[in-house]
Chain A
Amino acid sequence: MRTLYAALGIAAISALVLSGCSGQGDEYSGSEGESVTVGLVLEPTDLDIRRTSGAALDQVLIDNVYQGLVSRTPSGDIVDTIAASHSISDDGLTYTFDINDGVTFHNGDDLTVDDVVWSLTQVKDDAELRDHELLSAVTKITATDDDTVTLTLSEPDSNLLWNLSGRAGLVLDESADNDLSTTANGTGPFTLEEWKQGDSITLARNDDYWGDAAKVGEVVFVYIGDTTAGVNAALAGDLDVLTAVDPNLQTQFEGTDFTVHEGKTTDKYTLAFNNQREPLDDVRVREALQLAVDHAAVIDAIGGAGVEMGGPIPPLDPGYEDLTSLRPYNPKKAKSLLADAGVDDLSLTLTVPNIYGTTVANVLVSAYKQIGVTLTVDSVEFSTWLNDVYTNHDYDLSFVDHLEPRDFGNWANPDYYFGYDNTDVQKLYTESVRATDPETANEKLAEAARIVAEDHAADWLYNALTLTAIHEGISGFPTDSPNARLDLSSLSVTT
């Protein structure tokens, strides 16, 4: 038995060594036919686009299978989709959408204005549906004629078009009765072919598509949760595209037929301070914690795939400005700020979901130790984080990725887990939402964001860049924000 233990120890190490070495050979077999295999990380738990939360569903289904009145580009612009055009009245209270002719659902039904009205009304009326609250300013949804749908608002909402480009604006078939949890009947360039739960989702080209047909016959999304396994699968020739490549592993693609592309995201890796809890309710303490961290070193530690951000709004979102000068790396000043605040021997606990690894946590422990702050890291299951931090606000510091675009509203919500309560910010944010022209809306947002940053309400450690490894011969794969949306209508294979 004792020799068995020794053997186990050796076997464990050999296994690790072997797992690292396998898959190094480049045996890429090429994309036969027109099928493209894409490696993704997070699988949706259910395909119900109306009721299941999570970006994993938007990523695969929106734009490809389901379409909305309008959609968004990876850089955040609004484009018409099912709507041929749209117009907004000067007072910002009436939105008019001209609907494209000849749009059909995958089951063969024609899309009518009634489907549009029904789809939007459902989200508006049923509080159980996802993004229901995003249509709260809308009072009336009507079909003014066979080609036109009009939305009437109680007060201007500068976010409405953006919201309609998400789930709230999707158009579904009123007369279909398919099970949304496992099937999908949309209008997009791809149909949902198969979902092998725990493994993959297959989309097939919709040959009766009303617009320009997709350029590939089939797309298979393969879910690989482990980043090392993902890289190995790509190198072994099982994948044509791998999204979310671990920055530390990207060198493994050197000298292969894969090219690693860097894309922008709205992923804000946020070290939240509990603004309600002593001594973090003191702005000097929060500033000290922010000045203690060398943000360039944090980005270097995670493999370089990030850009510094000094405030709550990332470069892809409206209202962005570079605020990094508000928190230069200055441990000396940090120490004196703590002394001013009368805080010594400070011990804090960082609650972090275990999916985020330990690299950043280790860097923070070291950085805070320099200014005399003891950081204990509590690595927890994501569900524990949701319960303790997100729901019960029971935490000192928390570290998660806030990947949602345009989520500044969290800073204007004192009940959010940040516990940040500033009436100026709340007022500015409301003014931004009510603004009828985009410039005013963005200026107000930028102003509010600056206040939040000057309050050091959190430490925005970095805005992540995302890496996508794409095999030679594959083009048209979106590399910006691929974790939020993957519009594959221009994906093509050249051999």
Chain B
Amino acid sequence: MTTTVPIVRQRGWARTFIRNPAGVFGLVTTVALVSCALLSIVWTPYDPVHTDVLSKWHPPSSAHLLGTDNIGRDIFSVLLAGSRVTLQVAVGSALVAAVVGVVFAALGSLTARWFREIIAVLIDILIAFPTLLIAMMLASALGGSIMVVIVAVGISFGVNVGRVSRPEIRRVSRSEFVTAGIAAGLGPVRNLTRHTLPNVAPVFIVQLSWCMAVAVLAETGLSYLGYGAPVSTPSWGRVLAELQSYIGIHPLSVVWPGLAITITVLGFNLLGDGLRDATDPRLGRPEVITA
């Protein structure tokens, strides 16, 4: 007598993700951004810093896909080259946030109780500072640059990442396989990297894709205020700032960088949503995060 045991296959997270149109949209925009940035290294239709005042304010045409700006630069080329800054800032901030987040989360969950309390308070204090404020403080001390944006967003969002993943790490570090690891003689650091972090990773990745969205907005905001990318570096926020005074006369010129920013930010957000929906077993639970 044999009984057939029905094989229950859990759907993989990748499959769940693919079925979510919002997540796919996020993935597509992210891939598009990366492609644009890579492409701009080897090719742009025109030199993005080349000015040709005689051909200023050309409307969109086959020669100038998105038209030209007030000093005759090709807007498409500028935006293409600007995607490099956007990508740098997004990835850079996410990396800094990851490091800051891991450090805070690990210190806040695996150390002595009194130390954990201090870390918790410190996180609360740091969360109280808005990202833009930290960035402007750093920029006025060190001068505006892309690095300042990356560090500022990385630190302020990293604190968030730390706060969200701290209870996760605590939960995982109490599970049996971790205890088994300790019994087998693994040190705390190895145990963290071998067992705890891989199990917290989904939470992390979701947080970091949201961090990218914040970073893109922060870079454009800071460049708009003159604290971000240097003048001669093509950047979306800078284009927006430079063209906004002509908005009454050439409204279309501002729409392009605005659209690029909007779609990218939306894309990173939806990517984060999609990843969360696909990896989080407690589906639909709203996360509360602050920037």
Q: Which residues of A contact B (CB under 8 A)?
A: 1-3, 5-6, 8-10, 12-13, 16-17, 19-21, 24, 227-228, 231, 246, 248-249, 251-252, 294, 297-298, 300-301, 352, 354, 357-359, 361-363, 365-367, 369, 375-380
Is B287 an interface position by the 8 A CB rule?
yes
**CB under 8 Å from chain A, chain B span 241-263:** 242, 244-249, 251, 254-255, 258-259, 261-262
Q: Is the CB of B51 within 8 A of A362?
A: yes
A419 CA / B157 CA spacing, docked (Å): 47
| B247 partner, pick from A12, A19, A352, A377, beta carbons under 8 A | A19
Q: B31 an interface residue at 8 Å Cβ cutoff?
A: no
Q: Are B51 and A228 in contact (CB under 8 A)?
A: no
Which of B111-119, B196-204, B268-276 makes up part of the contact surface? Answer: B268-276
Smallest CB gap from A227: residue in B: B245
On chain B, the residues within 8 Å of A228 by CB distance are 244-245, 247-248
Cβ-defined partner of B262 (8 Å) among A9, A357, A358, A367: A9
CB-CB under 8 A for A377 and B232, given A5-B217, A19-B247: yes
Q: Which residue on chain A has the smallest CB distance to residue B286?
A: A1
Q: How far is A377 from B291 in the complex, measured between Cα atoms in Å?
A: 31
Does residue B186 face the partner (Cβ distance < 8 Å to A)? no
Contact of B32 with A by CB under 8 A:
no
The smallest C-beta distance from B269 to any residue of chain A, in angstroms, reads 4
In the complex, the answer to whether B54 meets A375 with C-beta atoms within 8 Å is no
Measured CA separation A230–B72 after assembly (Å) = 26
The reply to whether A252 and B71 contact each other, CB–CB distance below 8 Å, is no
Whole-angstrom distance from the CB of B248 to the nearest CB of chain A?
4
| A residues less than 8 Å from B238 (CB atoms) | 358
B104 CB within 8 Å of chain A: no
Q: How far is the CB of B103 from chain A (nearest CB, A)?
A: 23
CB-based contact A361/B231 at 8 Å: yes
Q: Does B278 contact A (CB under 8 A)?
A: no
Closest to B210 in A: A2
Inter-chain contact A359/B248, CB cutoff 8 Å: no
**B70 and A6 within 8 A (CB):** no
Complex CA gap A305/B33 in Å reads: 39
A17: which B residues are within 8 A, CB to CB?
247, 251, 254
- B249 surroundings in chain A (CB, below 8 A): 248-249, 251-252
Q: State in angstroms the CA–CA spacing of A12 and B249 once bound together.
A: 19
Bound: A298/B247 CA distance, A: 21
The reply to whether B51 and A366 form a contact with Cβ atoms under 8 Å apart is yes
Q: Shortest distance in angstroms between B239's beta carbon and chain A's nearest beta carbon? A: 10
Q: Are A2 and B213 in contact (CB under 8 A)?
A: yes
Q: Please determine whether A300 and B269 come into contact, CB atoms closer than 8 angstroms.
A: no
Contacts of A377 in B (CB 8 A): 230-232
Q: Cα distance A24–B273 when bound, in Å? A: 41
B122 at the interface (CB under 8 A from A): no
List chain B residues, Cβ under 8 A from A369.
Answer: 47, 49-50
Q: Contact between A20 and B247 (Cβ–Cβ < 8 Å)?
A: yes
Asked if residues B226 and A300 are in contact (CB atoms below 8 Å), the reply is no
Interface of A is mostly: helix
User: Residue A297 contacts which of B53, B231, B273, B291 (CB distance < 8 angstroms)?
Assistant: B53
Q: Which residues of B contact A375 (CB under 8 A)?
A: 232
CA distance A200 to B259 in the complex (A): 38
Q: How far is the CB of A19 from chain B (nearest CB, A)?
A: 7
Which residues of chain A have C-beta atoms less than 8 A from B50's C-beta? Answer: 366, 369
B79 contacts partner chain A, Cβ-Cβ < 8 Å: no
Q: In the complex the two chains form, is B54's CB within 8 Å of A297's CB?
A: yes
B170 in contact (CB, < 8 A): no
Q: Which residue of A lies closest to B48 (CB)?
A: A366
Decide yes or no whether B214 CB sits under 8 A from chain A: yes
26 contacts across the A-B interface (CB closer than 8 A): A2-B269, A5-B213, A5-B214, A5-B291, A6-B265, A10-B262, A13-B262, A16-B247, A17-B254, A19-B247, A21-B248, A227-B245, A228-B245, A248-B245, A352-B231, A357-B242, A358-B238, A359-B71, A359-B242, A361-B232, A362-B232, A363-B53, A367-B51, A369-B49, A378-B143, A379-B231
State which of B240, B261, B288 has its C-beta within 8 Å of the C-beta of A1: B288
A380–B249 alpha-carbon span in the complex (Å): 28
Residue of A nearest to B140 (CB): A381
Given contacts A246-B245, A354-B226, A358-B231, whether A6 and B262 have CB atoms under 8 Å apart is: yes
**The one of A5, A249, A359 that contacts B269, using a Cβ cutoff of 8 Å:** A5
CB distance from A387 to the nearest CB of B (A): 13
Write out the residue numbers on chain A whose beta carbons fall within 8 Å of the beta carbon of B18. none
The verdict on B266 contacting chain A, using a C-beta distance below 8 Å, is yes
Q: How far is the CA of A8 from the CA of B246 in the complex (A)?
A: 22
What 8 new A-B contacts, CB under 8 Å, besides A228-B245, A362-B71, A363-B71?
A: A1-B288, A10-B262, A228-B247, A297-B51, A365-B51, A377-B231, A379-B144, A379-B231
Cβ of A139 to closest chain B Cβ, rounded Å: 48
Report the separation of the CA atoms of residues A379 and B232 in the bound assembly, to the nearest whole angstrom.
Answer: 10
Q: How far is the CA of A466 from the CA of B226 in the complex (A)?
A: 26
Q: What CA separation (Å) do A375 and B217 show in the bound complex?
A: 28
CA A5 to CA B209, docked complex, whole Å: 13
**Known A248-B249, A369-B50; contact A9-B266, beta-carbon cutoff 8 A:** yes
Q: Which 4 A-B pairs have the closest CB atoms?
A: A20-B247, A2-B269, A377-B231, A366-B51
- Could you say which of B143, B258, B261, B272 contacts A2, with CB atoms under 8 Å apart? B272
Does the CB pair B49–A365 fall under 8 Å?
Answer: yes
A362 near B213 with CB under 8 A, answer no
- A366-B51, A369-B50 known; A5+B245 contact, CB < 8 A: no
**B64 interfacial contact with A, CB 8 Å:** no
A residues less than 8 Å from B266 (CB atoms): 6, 9
Kindly list chain B residues whose C-beta atoms are within 8 Å of the C-beta of A367: 51
CA distance A357 to B246 in the complex (A): 13
Contacts of A357 in B (CB 8 A): 242
Q: A301 and B71: CB pair below 8 A?
A: yes
CB distance from B213 to the nearest CB of A (A): 5
CB of B65 closer than 8 Å to a CB of A:
no
The complex places the Cα of A111 from the Cα of B187 at a distance, in Å, of 92
For B248, the chain A residues whose CB sits under 8 A away are 20-21, 24, 228, 231, 249, 252
Roughly how many angstroms separate A2 CA and B242 CA in the complex, as a whole number?
A: 28
A168 to B275 alpha-carbon distance, docked (Å): 72
Q: Which residues of B (68-96) have their CB < 8 Å from a CB of A?
A: 70-71, 73
Q: Is B133 an interface residue (CB 8 A)?
A: no
Q: How far is the CA of A17 from the CA of B291 in the complex (A)?
A: 26
